[in-house]
Structure 1
Amino acid sequence: MNDAVVELQQVSKYYRSVQALHPLTFSLPAGEALGLFGHNGAGKSTLMKLILGVLAPTSGQVLALGHCPRSNGAHEYRRQFGYLPENVSFYDQLTGREVLHYFAKLKGHTKGHADSLLDEVNLAHAADRQVKTYSKGMRQRLGLAQAFLGSPKLLILDEPTVGLDPVATREFYQTVDRLKTSGCAVILCSHVLPGIEGHIDRAMILSKGRKLALGTLDELRAEAALPTEVMVSGVSQSEIKSLLNGHLKDSTWLADSEGRERFTVTADHKLDVMKRLLAQEQVQDLQLKQPSLEDLYHFYLSGGVAGMTSDVAMAEVER
Structure 2
Amino acid sequence: MTALTPDPSLHALLLQDVARHYGSPHAPVKALDGVDLCVPRGQLFGLVGHNGAGKSTLFKLVLGLVRPTRGQLWVQGIEVGGPAFRQARQRLGYLPEHLALYDNLSGLETLQLFARLKSADAARCLPLLDELGLGAAARRPVREYSKGMRQRLGFAQALLGEPGLLLLDEPTSGLDPAATRDFYATLDRLRQRGVTMLISSHVLAELEQRVDALAMLSAGRLIAQGSVADLRARCTRPLQVQVSATPEVLDGLPATLAPLGLQPQRTDAGRLQVDCPRELKLPLLARLAAQPLADLQVQEPTLETVYFDLREAA
Report the CA distance between 1:125 and its aligned residue. Answer: 1.2
Report the CA distance between 1:255 and its aligned residue. Answer: 3.4
Q: Does 1:5 align with 2:12?
A: yes
Structure 2 Cα separation of the partners of residues 73 and 102 of structure 1: 25
Q: Does 1:285 align with 2:292?
A: no
Structure 2: gaps (5+ residues): 1-6
* Structure-2 residue corresponding to 1:253: 265
Structure with higher helix content: 2
Q: Is the 1:6–1:65 Cα contact (8 Å) retained in structure 2?
A: yes
Q: Does 1:241 align with 2:251?
A: no
Report the CA distance between 1:69 and its aligned residue. Answer: 2.5
Structure 1 Cα separation of the partners of residues 219 and 264 of structure 2: 32
* Structure-1 residue corresponding to 2:4: none
* Structure-2 residue corresponding to 1:201: 212
Q: Is the 1:32–1:185 Cα contact (8 Å) retained in structure 2?
A: yes
Q: Does 1:119 align with 2:133?
A: no
Paired letter, 2:120: H
Q: Is the 1:241–1:248 Cα contact (8 Å) retained in structure 2?
A: no
252 and 72 in structure 1: CA distance in 2 versus 1, 3 angstrom threshold: farther
So what's the TM-score if we normalise by structure 2?
Answer: 0.90
Report the CA distance between 1:23 and its aligned residue. Answer: 0.7
Per-residue Cα deviation, 1:118-174 (whole angstroms, up to 9, x for no partner): 112111111101111111111001011111223321111100010000000011111
Structure 1 Cα separation of the partners of residues 280 and 78 of structure 2: 48
Paired letter, 2:87: E
Report the CA distance between 1:85 and its aligned residue. Answer: 0.3
Structure 2 Cα separation of the partners of residues 283 and 45 of structure 1: 49
Structure 1 Cα separation of the partners of residues 90 and 167 of structure 2: 13
Structure 1 Cα separation of the partners of residues 112 and 290 of structure 2: 63
252 and 31 in structure 1: CA distance in 2 versus 1, 3 angstrom threshold: farther
SS of 2:38's equivalent? strand
Structure 1 Cα separation of the partners of residues 210 and 163 of structure 2: 18
Structure 2 Cα separation of the partners of residues 224 and 161 of structure 1: 27
Quick one: which of 283, 301, 310 aligns to 1:300? 310
Q: Does 1:220 align with 2:220?
A: no
Structure 2 Cα separation of the partners of residues 4 and 219 of structure 1: 20
Structure 1 Cα separation of the partners of residues 243 and 140 of structure 2: 54
* Structure-2 residue corresponding to 1:182: 193
Q: Report matched runs for 1:129-144 at 5 Å.
A: 129-144=140-155
* Structure-2 residue corresponding to 1:267: 278
Structure 2 Cα separation of the partners of residues 49 and 191 of structure 1: 18
Paired letter, 2:14: E
Report the CA distance between 1:55 and its aligned residue. Answer: 0.8
Q: Is the 2:107–2:142 Cα contact (8 Å) retained in structure 1?
A: yes
Q: Does 1:14 align with 2:21?
A: yes
Per-residue Cα deviation, 1:77-125 (whole angstroms, up to 9, x for no partner): 1111111000011111110011112222333333332211111211111
* Structure-2 residue corresponding to 1:315: none
Deviating runs (4+, > 4 A) in structure 1?
none
Q: Is the 1:81–1:155 Cα contact (8 Å) retained in structure 2?
A: yes
Structure 2 Cα separation of the partners of residues 248 and 104 of structure 1: 63
SS of 1:194's equivalent? helix
SS of 2:83's equivalent? coil
Structure 1: gaps (5+ residues): 305-319
* Stretch deviating more after TM superposition (48-57 or 206-215): 206-215
SS of 1:79's equivalent? helix
Q: Number of aligned pairs?
A: 301
259 and 137 in structure 1: CA distance in 2 versus 1, 3 angstrom threshold: farther
Structure 1 Cα separation of the partners of residues 290 and 244 of structure 2: 14
Quick one: which of 35, 38, 45 aligns to 2:56? 45
Report the CA distance between 1:29 and its aligned residue. Answer: 1.1
Paired letter, 1:255: T
Structure 2 Cα separation of the partners of residues 98 and 105 of structure 1: 11
Report the CA distance between 1:208 and its aligned residue. Answer: 1.2
Per-residue Cα deviation, 1:242-301 (whole angstroms, up to 9, x for no partner): 22232243x563735x74212211111111222222232x31111111111111012123
What percentage of aligned pairs have identical amino acids? 43
Paired letter, 2:164: K
* Structure-2 residue corresponding to 1:309: none
Quick one: which of 49, 72, 83 aligns to 2:94? 83
Per-residue Cα deviation, 1:166-225 (whole angstroms, up to 9, x for no partner): 000011111112212222111111111112111112221111111121111111111123
So what's the TM-score if we normalise by structure 1?
Answer: 0.88
Q: Report matched runs for 1:50-65 at 5 Å.
A: 50-65=61-76
253 and 299 in structure 1: CA distance in 2 versus 1, 3 angstrom threshold: farther
